[in-house]
Amino acid sequence: MSDPQTLLQQITALPPDRVAEIEDFVAFITTREQARALTRAAAAASAPTFAAIWDNPEDDAYNDL
């Protein structure tokens, strides 16, 4: 991993329009990570409900597919 201080120095050496691009990219990455975390949380929260539906003797034949 890069040294955060070195990265900060590199960013501050850039022209303002390039710094704005970096800010936009960081915002994009942050939003994407938040969306992924929300998706993982929703899947984890729904797992017990789906387990009750999917884990039954009638559907055991589908486990081997």
Q: Is residue 53 part of a domain?
A: no
Q: Is residue 25 part of a domain?
A: yes
pLDDT in tens, 5-59: 999 999 999 999 999 999 999 999 999 999 999 999 999 999 988 887 877 888 7
Read off the pTM. Answer: 0.63
Q: Is residue 33 part of a domain?
A: yes
Task: Indicate the number of domains in the chain.
Answer: 1
Judge whether 11 and 19 are in contact, CB under 8 Å. Answer: yes
> 51-58, long-range: CB within 8 Å, 24+ apart, which pairs?
none
Q: Is residue 61 part of a domain?
A: no
Question: 34 to each of 27, 44, 46, 56, how far by Cα in Å?
Answer: 11, 15, 18, 34
Tell me, rounded to whole angstroms, the distance of Cα 58 from its chain centroid: 35
Judge whether 22 and 11 are in contact, CB under 8 Å. Answer: yes
Q: Is residue 62 part of a domain?
A: no
Q: What letter represents residue 57's amino acid? A: P
Q: Is residue 30 part of a domain?
A: yes
Residue 61: band (very low, low, confident or very high) from pLDDT cuts 50, 70, 90: confident
In this prediction, residue 62 carries a pLDDT of 80
Give the residue numbers spanning the domain of 27. Answer: 16-45
